[in-house]
Amino acid sequence: MKAVILAGGRGTRGRPFTDYIPKAMIPVQGRPLVYYIAKYLAKLDIIDEIIILGDFSGIGKQIEKYFENHVSFKKQIKFVQDSQSGTGGDLVHLKSSLGKSKEFLLWFVDNLCPVDIPKMYQYHKDSKTYATIAVRRYRKEETGFAIVKNGIIREFKEKPIIELQMAECLGIYIINSKIIGTIKTEKQRKKNLNLSYDILQPLSKKGSIAAYDIGKTQWLDIDSPTRVERNKDLVNSIIKKLC
């Protein structure tokens, strides 16, 4: 199975940092964020090639140069230029790179999580769906909470782990390659396509999208160096598990 790291987002939440560096190059323990994801995927037996999909005509060129000059993995890393046409629209550029692969792993570069990919892949195969999305029902909050009764605070909870009423979708997918054909068709009527809402939503109505619950596995959305600094202990724990 091929692994695709989606690294073409503009990173608007991370400005002003992402005006000068792509989100994939946000520094984490002295290395770019994308390095840890690629290293983790490279050591998995079920992954035979890593594809980084991004805008290499702009500041995204930093990603390509980093891997060419500083990194050597046993598995090949291929770079595919996107068209800045949304998280769904950009995937159409993968068609020739995926070849005859029936499925591919899609990993949004701002997701840092030591998810068990072989286990998730087996879950996907057993579900016999078009796509499987990693989700979570538990989240560790970054702020303090209070238990309130009749307007009086009875107890404080410092950064608790809470159970969510709805499952939170994470940016890690296993997708049937046939979806590329669907995207190509949809792009004829709409230039920018969102993967979840424009492509997977209709399939979810048919029961064709599975959810892989990561339980209490650690996860962090990294959109800026500030987020890394503010969650230093969590980042260090995840990196240790990945590498």
Tens digit of pLDDT for each residue in 195-243?
999 999 999 999 999 999 999 899 999 998 999 998 999 999 999 999 8
Residue 97 pLDDT more than 80? yes
What's the pLDDT score for residue 200? 94
Residue tagged 């390659």 (tokens) = 177
Residue-wise DSSP of 128-190:
T-SEEEEEEEEEE-SS-EEEEETTEEEEEESS-EEEEEEEEEEEEEEEETTHHHHHHHHTTT-
The band of 14, judged by pLDDT with boundaries at 50, 70 and 90, is: low
**Which pLDDT tens digit goes with each residue over 28-84?**
999 999 999 999 999 999 999 999 999 888 888 999 999 988 777 778 899 999 888
Q: Which residues of 87-123 are buried (b: 16+ CB within 10 A; e: fewer)?
A: bbbbbbbbeebbeeeebbbbbbbbbbbbbebeebbeb
Residue 144 pLDDT more than 90? no
Residue tagged 């994470």 (tokens) = 170
CA 114 – CA 116 distance, rounded (Å): 6
Residue tagged 């070849």 (tokens) = 99
Residue 3 pLDDT more than 80? yes
- Report domain extents, the chain: 2-242
Question: Would you say domain 2-242 falls under CATH 3.30.413.10?
Answer: no
CA 19 – CA 176 distance, rounded (Å): 34
**Which pLDDT tens digit goes with each residue over 160-193?**
888 888 888 999 999 999 999 999 998 888 888 9
